[in-house]
């Protein structure tokens, strides 16, 4: 099993300490292994600091650049590896922050391990958190950039793609679904059975899928198996849907890279509404789904109309395409599509009206 991320509460009052504890319990339930250290321990990968008191300010000043800090303060603060959160903080807000931070830290550690890059002596290397400000129910969060911008400051255009990634578990899952193939995926002592023929995933524990998704792809052992082997080995295991795992992989691990062969400029349309109840609700996804269901639109225009970050648009699109919700054949100029209403529907309505008026 992966080592848990250590989280240190620094100078927190009883209320914030309780909020943090509940949030840590919740992310552990979600499969993000983490350990809450005793109060004011300096040895955490992540320090959660109340900077509105003397102890918290002192620890913040003495902390190393490599340590990631989630700082609660009435005053806006910025710094390397520093995430500022204006109090008060609710459990749901803290859970969302910890989830985002811990997943990125785990991904960074995995990359360092794969590249044999040593972190500092507390394993708390810089985590790539982008500079941004978010507002949620009256609270504010800012994440400070951890690395300076490149010499070439030209931003990534909507029609440009990052370098094509090596295969990932997301691509394996998508291939299984499209080809109705079966795979066995192993990481250390954890393994999954992927059943593309019947759209299921079998695992010993409910958290195994998340653990494998967070593991470095080079560390995975992947073997294609036949349907008989899948059925035999899947007996008495936990069964979940391949669609849910595909959606999660597309949303969490697209890394801003559009699927190969897809284009930000191509008009696309959402064929059916995503299952937000099962796959997790995000306000940005609801907004994107509403626009894409209304009419064909390119991802470039979708980004502008929704006011959503490019990475979020790409990850939503990849996930929606992977589970079969995207129509790539409709075009914005298709006369059969006006205001999101199919031509066949319009014809039937006109025909009914004509019959009622006696023209037929």
At residue 192, the pLDDT reads 92
Of 94, 98, 93, give the one whose Cα is nearest residue 136. Answer: 93
For helices 283-294 and 299-306, what crossing angle results, to 10°?
Answer: 120
pTM of the predicted protein model: 0.48
For 52-91, the pLDDT digits (tens) are: 998 889 888 888 777 899 999 999 888 888 999 988 889 9
In sequence order, which ranges of 193-342 are alpha helices (DSSP H)? 208-214, 227-233, 242-253, 276-279, 283-294, 299-306, 310-322
Nearest to 181 by CA among 124, 229, 222, 226: 226
Q: Point out the residues of the chain with pLDDT beneath 50.
A: 117-166, 334-348, 350, 354, 356-357, 359-360
Lookup: tokens for 216: 């470095």
Distance CA 191, CA 205 (A): 10
Cβ–Cβ under 8 Å, residues 188 and 170: no
The count of other CB atoms within 10 Å of the CB of residue 120 is: 12
Q: 100-115 pLDDT, tens per residue?
A: 888 888 777 776 666 5
Who's near 99: CB < 8 A, 6+ residues apart?
A: 27, 30, 32
Residue 144 DSSP one-character state: -
- Strand, helix or coil at 297? strand
Check residue 150 and give its pLDDT.
Answer: 35
Structural domains of the chain in order of their starting residue, each with its CATH number: 5-143 (3.40.50.2300), 169-247 (no CATH), 258-337 (1.10.10.10)
């Amino acid at each position: 099993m992966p080592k848990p991320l250590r989280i240190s509460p620094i100078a927190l009052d009883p209320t914030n300490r309780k909020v943090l504890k509940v949030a840590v319990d919740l992310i552990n339930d979600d499969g993000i292994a983490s350990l809450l250290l005793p109060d004011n321990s300096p040895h955490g990968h992540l320090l959660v600091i109340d900077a509105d008191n003397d102890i918290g300010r002192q620890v913040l000043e003495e902390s190393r650049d490599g340590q990631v800090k989630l700082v609660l303060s009435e005053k806006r603060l910025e710094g390397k590896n520093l995430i500022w959160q204006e109090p008060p903080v609710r459990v749901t807000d803290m859970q969302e922050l910890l989830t985002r931070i811990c997943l990125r830290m785990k991904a960074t550690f995995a990359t360092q391990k794969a590249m044999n890059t040593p972190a500092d002596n507390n394993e708390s290397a810089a985590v790539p958190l982008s500079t941004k400000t978010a507002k949620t129910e009256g609270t504010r969060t800012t994440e400070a950039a951890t690395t300076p911008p490149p010499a070439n400051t030209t931003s990534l255009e909507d029609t440009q793609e990052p370098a094509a990634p090596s295969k990932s578990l997301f691509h394996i899952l998508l291939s299984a679904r499209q080809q109705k193939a079966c795979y066995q995926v192993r990481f250390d002592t954890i393994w999954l059975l992927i059943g593309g023929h019947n759209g299921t995933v079998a695992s010993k524990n409910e958290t195994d899928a998340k653990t494998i998704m967070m593991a470095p792809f080079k560390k995975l052992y992947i073997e294609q198996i036949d349907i008989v082997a899948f059925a035999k080995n899947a007996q008495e295991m936990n069964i979940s849907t391949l669609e849910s795992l595909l959606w999660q992989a597309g949303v969490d691990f697209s890394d801003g890279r559009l699927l190969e062969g897809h284009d930000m400029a191509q008009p696309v349309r959402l064929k059916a509404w995503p299952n937000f109840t099962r796959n997790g609700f995000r306000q940005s996804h609801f907004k994107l789904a509403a626009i894409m269901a209304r009419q064909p639109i390119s991802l470039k225009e979708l980004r502008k109309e929704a006011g959503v970050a490019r990475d979020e648009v790409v990850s939503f699109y990849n996930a929606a395409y992977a589970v079969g919700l995207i129509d790539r054949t409709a075009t914005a100029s298709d006369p059969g599509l006006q205001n999101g209403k199919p031509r066949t529907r319009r014809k039937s309505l006109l025909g009914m009206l004509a019959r009622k008026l006696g023209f037929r």
